[in-house]
Structure 1
Amino acid sequence: MTEPAPTKLLADLSDREQQLVEAACHGNWLDCGEMDVGRLAASTARSRLVRAELIRELLLGRRGDLDPRGVRLARARIVGELDLDMVHAVAGLWLNGCAIDKQIRAKCATLPYLVIQASQCAGIDAYGIRVNGPLLLWDGVRIAGSGERGTVDLTGAHIGADFEMTDVEVISPSGVALNASNIRVEGGLYIRRGGRIAGRGVGGAINLTGAHIAGDVYLEDMEVSASGGPAVSASRIHIDGLLFVRGGIRLIGDDEDGIVNLIRARVDGFGGGVVDLKVVAQPGAVLLNLWEMEVKTTMSLPPGLVCPDRGQGATCEHLRRVRLDGLSYAALGQGTDWREWLHLIRCHTPAYHASAYQSLAAVERAAGHDSNVRRILIAQQDDLRRRSPDALTGRLTRSFHWLWGLLAGYGYRARRTAAALLLVFIVAGAMGWWAGQVNTRPGHHAAERVLPAGAGAAASGVPCSSVELVGLGLDRGLPLATTGVRGRCDLDTTSRRGQAFTVAIWGVQLAVWGLATLALAGYTNLVRKTS
């Protein structure tokens, strides 16, 4: 078997390139002098040029053993395409203030660490890259260009420590700016401090779909914008730590699924929330899509983000929207009032969904605020009738639903039902008294003393006492119990007016039956709905 031919190395290394080899072997920096990145990109001075292929050779160990501190190069122009595809590097790479002519390619590469600082390039294609330590893009990195899967493509990457983008500008004229779908980060994810990420199309600006972050996630103090897509798409993201979206961040997007998409996201340590956040969108647009998001601990979302007036009522003139259906959380964070949260559910969600009310009610119930729970669930039923009337199947059902809410608070205001029942009893007694004052024919009233057997029809009626008349009304109005007064005083059903009072008291009796049923059901939770 013939042995493979030895790999041919770059020949004719310049003095600067030879210095880089020596620096990498001894763990030193190679600094090519003071020059800003813009001027450096146009420089042709050999003292500032390093061929990209030499960096690949160094990382593969083809130029001898490297110091564990890695290849560290400052203020150089890297000529050609930096191709690290499939490289299993023996040391890490740190580029500071460098102008990289073309895209950095690192598909399925493995590096101990990767740091790009204050540099510029035309893109990073690092699909499936594995970085055992941190991946850092720092201090004014500028990346502009187009890529098949994104200007910065980290799809399926595995980062063994923190992934940080600080003061970084990533601009894509035709697609996703930062594509980190299905990335796994063993540390935290930090995208912050004055940077700008801009994409175009349905992929949006930042794609974190299916990502798993073992630490915290911070998005703060920067601008994220997308034309024709979401600013941040992070559906099914799993965050073991905290999620913070705050610090003057400006989000601009255009997507029906939400400017920030957290559909089915799972956050095990949510605690910071959304603070000082500005979202730019068309009126009526969904700003945050939290559909079926699961938050294990505290949920903090300032209502002022969605409703500038921080409203607490049942109506609002502002058209901003947020999807909260299916969102579950253990508690509301500090500074988030349950009344304002209820206002968001009633006035700033695209449609009625019972789950949003049920989640808030569960949080308040766990806190021991039963009165708040009743108000939330009553608001749910009001919203059901207002925004989802078809669920009540028919005008008659909707009318009964409205009456049920008015008289019984949908079963959550049993005291109101009891008060209405007391009022009906008063009406019944008043009707009995009134019947004793109404003449039907000379000498007779609609309610009068019962005549003894054998008395003629022309015999004069004997008036009942006021107590007897009130007792008569109650006796007629009570469905089951009786006062026994009807043996002495009763309605004259042979007269039209007596018949009218009889029919009216039947109506009172029906009302007593209905209200008594509602009161009993309200106290025993038989009619409380949860959907």
Structure 2
Amino acid sequence: MRRSRRLTAAERTLWSAFPSGDWVDLRTGDREHDDPAQAHTWGRERQIRAEVITELLMGAAERQPGRVPALRLAGARVVGDLNLSESTLETTLHLLNCHAGAVDLTDATTRSVRLRGCELDRVIASRAQVSGVLDLNGSTIAHGVRIDNARIEGQLRISHATVGAPPPPASSTEGGHYDVREPESPLVGRSQHEWAIWAGGVAVTGAVFLRELTATGGIRMIGGAFPGGLYLRGSQITALGPVAINLDYCTAGAVELDDGFTARGTVRMRSGTITGTLFISDATLIAEERSLHVTHMQIDELVLLPRHIEGEVNLRYSRIGVLSDRPGSYPSRVMLDGLTYESMRGTWRVDERIAWLARDTRGYRPHPYEQLAAWYRRIGHESDARRVLLAKRRRQTGTRRPRARMAGALLDVTVGYGYRSWLAGLWAALLLTAGTLVFSTWRPTKVDPDEMRTFYPFVYTLDLLVPVSVFEARGAWEPVGWTVWVAWTLIVSGWVLATALIAGATRILRPGA
């Protein structure tokens, strides 16, 4: 056994246990006293210097044939920072209910690292290669976790943990502004003070468990790869900037934000792929501007059933296989342009879906209406599809100049832009009835007294209403008095109805109408 310095009794015990991988448990059994937050009250008998642990992990102790070495330590106060950067560790590290400073695994290659139920200042594992599990379950990490571009051949676990963000750069003494001349810490970049977990480019072959995590600061996992899924069930994320979770360009087997999950700040996912389900259920999303930003994403299924949501929801240009939602899933502001979906689930009426489209903050966009109408047609609801397209025409007309709006209103009233052609028949029936009653009471005079013809009020009214005289009654009889205005109204109405029918039919038959 090689020792570079004199060891305390606790350190000698750890040194002797390491070759066989036995546990060294310095806890007293008093749960309150053994809480790592009370480590300042622990005596020297529970203190282990960080450099002793570093020497053991880097091979200072002799191996025992037939035994697997490992460092397993519980209830210790580790004095100093544990610096294992750029090292190659062939043994596992397991700290349980310990108190330590920073744990630095930058550029390290290691087996499983478990820091469970510990009080730590910071964990850094940038570009680390972990063959096993990186487990921080139940720990309190004051100044953040940094694992950007790490490769973990196993699972990442930060469940039931409390994580804070790194402090902002030191301020100058004059005016309270940041002193840009001050050199950065090698462990904390200036852009990281808003993020509790900084993990851009991290790749985890197994699942990532961040369940019931309490984070003061955002979670940044841009470009991450999580084929086993990302799970934040019951977590509470409070952003220190505008974004609570950033998963831009990520690929994941599934993402779960459910069972009381709360994000105060934007949940952002852009230009990524989720091959399973994005599950947002029984969750609270609160942001001043945009609470959910899921754009240009490829998602097999989106389940959007939040408990409460404040702030805009942006789903623009995402491609979703199955969209499961409900009317209360969305706030008053949504962005849906370019969103496509193969199927929809939920207890929606067609008028609720139309109102959903009308919430788009960018104003009228044709694509959301066409996409919804196409889905109704695929499931055989042609009448609902026509209602959606009618709503599209009405909203489109509202964006035009006054003259075009007047023409559109006329088309709407008469034939519903061609989607309600039966309205023309209703108008015709009303006009025929009114004209027949009028001309039954106030009969027109015969134009040619010598002509032998019988007057039929219904036929006369019909001949006035049809643009081209069919029964030649219009030229044989002359309305009298104020009924002249009735006759003119019928003639004009006939032309209007005919024109509206033709215009409506043209819109319907035209591709893309």
TM-score class, shorter-chain normalisation, is: 0.7 to 0.9
Aligned to 1:239: 274
- Which whole-Å deviations, capped at 9, do the CAs of 1:90-146 have from their partners, x for residues lacking one? x2111122222x321211001122001222222212111111100001234444533
- Which whole-Å deviations, capped at 9, do the CAs of 1:173-210 have from their partners, x for residues lacking one? xxxx21111111121111123x42222223x2221122
**Using a 3 Å threshold, how does the CA distance of structure 1 residues 502 and 206 change in structure 2: closer, same or farther?**
closer
Within the candidate set 331, 334, 350, 2:343 is matched to: 331
Aligned to 1:180: 221
- Is 1:93–2:135 an aligned residue pair? no
**Using a 3 Å threshold, how does the CA distance of structure 1 residues 137 and 233 change in structure 2: closer, same or farther?**
same
For residues 414 and 520 of structure 1, the distance between their equivalents in structure 2, rounded to whole angstroms, comes to: 8
**How high is the sequence identity, in percent, across the aligned residues?**
21
Aligned to 1:196: 236
Letter in 2 for 1:145: P
Aligned to 1:278: 308
Deviation of residue 424 (structure 1)?
A: 4.4
**Using a 3 Å threshold, how does the CA distance of structure 1 residues 305 and 463 change in structure 2: closer, same or farther?**
same
For 1:67-82, list aligned pairs within 5 A. 70-78=92-100, 80-82=101-103
Check whether the contact 1:242–1:269 (CA below 8 A) recurs between aligned residues. Answer: yes
For residues 384 and 62 of structure 1, the distance between their equivalents in structure 2, rounded to whole angstroms, comes to: 76
Deviation of residue 358 (structure 1)?
A: 2.3
Deviation of residue 323 (structure 1)?
A: 2.2
For residues 433 and 171 of structure 1, the distance between their equivalents in structure 2, rounded to whole angstroms, comes to: 83
- Is 1:107–2:126 an aligned residue pair? yes
Aligned to 1:251: 285
Within the candidate set 466, 471, 474, 1:483 is matched to: 471
- Which whole-Å deviations, capped at 9, do the CAs of 1:242-296 have from their partners, x for residues lacking one? 111123x3333223xx1121122221133x4324x223x4xxx42x222222211
- Is 1:209–2:248 an aligned residue pair? yes
SS of equivalent to 1:77: coil
Gap regions ≥5 residues in structure 1: 1-7, 308-319, 438-446, 453-461
- Which whole-Å deviations, capped at 9, do the CAs of 1:138-186 have from their partners, x for residues lacking one? 23444453353322111110011011112222223xxxx2111111112
Aligned to 1:118: 138
For residues 215 and 498 of structure 1, the distance between their equivalents in structure 2, rounded to whole angstroms, comes to: 74
Deviation of residue 416 (structure 1)?
A: 1.6
Aligned to 2:454: 465
Aligned to 2:74: none
Q: Point out the more displaced range, 29-38 or 204-213.
A: 29-38
For residues 431 and 264 of structure 1, the distance between their equivalents in structure 2, rounded to whole angstroms, comes to: 63
For residues 43 and 208 of structure 1, the distance between their equivalents in structure 2, rounded to whole angstroms, comes to: 41
Letter in 2 for 1:107: S
Deviation of residue 481 (structure 1)?
A: 5.6
Gap regions ≥5 residues in structure 2: 71-89, 168-187
**Using a 3 Å threshold, how does the CA distance of structure 1 residues 192 and 216 change in structure 2: closer, same or farther?**
closer
Within the candidate set 253, 278, 301, 1:269 is matched to: 301
Aligned to 1:456: none
Within the candidate set 264, 284, 292, 1:260 is matched to: 292
For residues 157 and 482 of structure 1, the distance between their equivalents in structure 2, rounded to whole angstroms, comes to: 80
Aligned to 1:510: 495
Aligned to 2:159: 138
Check whether the contact 1:49–1:77 (CA below 8 A) recurs between aligned residues. Answer: no
For residues 517 and 291 of structure 1, the distance between their equivalents in structure 2, rounded to whole angstroms, comes to: 36
**Using a 3 Å threshold, how does the CA distance of structure 1 residues 485 and 273 change in structure 2: closer, same or farther?**
closer
SS of equivalent to 1:82: strand
For 1:353-432, list aligned pairs within 5 A. 353-385=365-397, 389-390=398-399, 392=400, 394-426=401-433
Check whether the contact 1:27–1:69 (CA below 8 A) recurs between aligned residues. Answer: no
Letter in 2 for 1:209: D
- Which whole-Å deviations, capped at 9, do the CAs of 1:451-487 have from their partners, x for residues lacking one? 45xxxxxxxxx896332x5434433443346224468
**Using a 3 Å threshold, how does the CA distance of structure 1 residues 496 and 466 change in structure 2: closer, same or farther?**
closer
Aligned to 2:261: 222
Aligned to 2:317: 292
Aligned to 1:165: 210
Deviation of residue 12 (structure 1)?
A: 4.0
Within the candidate set 307, 311, 326, 1:302 is matched to: 326
- Is 1:322–2:320 an aligned residue pair? no
Check whether the contact 1:127–1:156 (CA below 8 A) recurs between aligned residues. Answer: yes
Aligned to 2:170: none
Aligned to 1:340: 352
Check whether the contact 2:416–2:423 (CA below 8 A) recurs between aligned residues. Answer: yes
Aligned to 2:38: 39
Letter in 2 for 1:295: I
Deviation of residue 357 (structure 1)?
A: 2.2
Deviation of residue 405 (structure 1)?
A: 1.1
For residues 58 and 511 of structure 1, the distance between their equivalents in structure 2, rounded to whole angstroms, comes to: 94
**Matched residues, number:** 457
For residues 383 and 52 of structure 2, the distance between their equivalents in structure 1, rounded to whole angstroms, comes to: 72
What TM-score comes out, normalization by structure 1 length? 0.76
For residues 251 and 239 of structure 2, the distance between their equivalents in structure 1, rounded to whole angstroms, comes to: 22
**Using a 3 Å threshold, how does the CA distance of structure 1 residues 351 and 375 change in structure 2: closer, same or farther?**
same
For residues 16 and 375 of structure 2, the distance between their equivalents in structure 1, rounded to whole angstroms, comes to: 63
For residues 4 and 368 of structure 2, the distance between their equivalents in structure 1, rounded to whole angstroms, comes to: 64
Letter in 1 for 2:130: L
